[in-house]
Structure 1
């Protein structure tokens, strides 16, 4: 029934925990697992007279490396489980749009994702990407805790 499964990951402990379930689900269905990790661009533009100027390029590079590490880690687990796997890292200010688009582009039958990856004020300001995915996709979504 499920031939291609999309698993968004942010490398958080909750996402890592959900990855084990996604791998088992893919094995059970003999499905291909597609993993996506979305890097959001640096959220603030540096101020010229500020005391500290952050390097947006360095931030994005480090976030891209962390995202790639999360995808590669899942790819290694999928390979060890004998699963077909494809991983991608995207850069976008809107992770849910990238997730919804990936589900369509890879013809995914289902999206398995953790209930949330962010906590505290960051979640309040950014909002739940899981909720946004639920509201914008026609593909079934299995939310994992």
Structure 2
């Protein structure tokens, strides 16, 4: 990875994200873009009178001072970090910065606490995820490890998932992480035989990779819901991260004709990384 964006709101959770970015950046010469969004209204920014202009300048300088103090931490010494202050009003505009700087990843700390229900319900994290064209890593707790070792990536192995699979494979290869591809077989009308699953997966891998070399990394589990299957499998193998796909601005993707990403992101204790379909 070349560039990682970390939105900073001076909270404990944004520091979790910043610390994680530093750890992941050690895997290469990665620049960390620490982004603080100063939510100044258009009424202040567009005023022509000197009093309002002075207010805008005051708030900008105050933010920059607080930002510099926030970034004055021992673990940031000798780190390639670039502070950026924007007068954005909404967190969805983080994607504009990502595109402008050709960033590879956005890392955010989530304030979800009780059942983690706030992660994708009316939160700034949700706004970033829904508008981001690049992967977003969501952390609910302090990232204690130095890197991701085992990553669970659930898929229905349909043609629409090929592009996301290729993005995920490239990213996790750069992070030296092992990707555990997972298919969750469900009961009732969604049930598929072993032969049917084998055929779906083989077709998928031939389309995506042009070979079946990754067939050894495919895992099949049976459960009553996809989210239960993913969470139980992640717990079984001691995974460090769960990866899911989203439909971007239209919200969270629904794999296997049922809800998965919202429930996984809201209930997983592990970090969750989203990829836009």
**What's the TM-score once normalised by structure 2's chain length?**
0.39
Corresponding residue of 2:30: 31
CA distance in structure 2 between the partners assigned to 1:112 and 1:35 by the alignment: 10
Whether 1:139 and 2:134 are equivalent positions in the alignment is yes
Q: Higher relative CO (CA 8 A, sep ≥ 6), structure 1 or 2? A: 1
Q: What is the Cα deviation at residue 41 of structure 1? A: 2.0
* SS of residue matched to 2:26: helix
Does the 8 A contact of 1:37 with 1:88 survive in 2? yes
Does the C-alpha gap of structure 1 residues 30 and 141 become closer, same or farther in structure 2, counting only changes over 3 Å? same
Q: Could you tell me how far apart the structure 1 residues matched to 2:139 and 2:22 are? A: 12
Distance 1:60 1:128 in 2: 28
Q: Quick one: structure 1 residues 71 and 128, their matched pair in 2 at CA, closer, same or farther if it must change by over 3 Å?
A: farther
Q: Secondary structure at the match of 1:40?
A: coil
Q: Deviations over 1:34-87 (max 9, x none)?
A: 110001125999xxxxxxxxx9x658834752455235533655751x222211
Runs of 5+ consecutive residues of structure 1 not aligned to the other structure = 46-54, 118-122
Q: How many residues align?
A: 125
Q: CA RMSD in A?
A: 3.2
Q: Which runs of 4+ in 1 moved over 3 A?
A: 42-45, 57-64, 75-79
Structure 2 unmatched ranges of 5 or more: 45-51, 113-117, 141-277
- From the CA coordinates, give the structure whose radius of gyration is larger: 2
Q: Secondary structure at the match of 2:27?
A: helix
Q: 1:86 and 1:77, CA in 2 relative to 1: closer, same or farther beyond 3 A?
A: farther
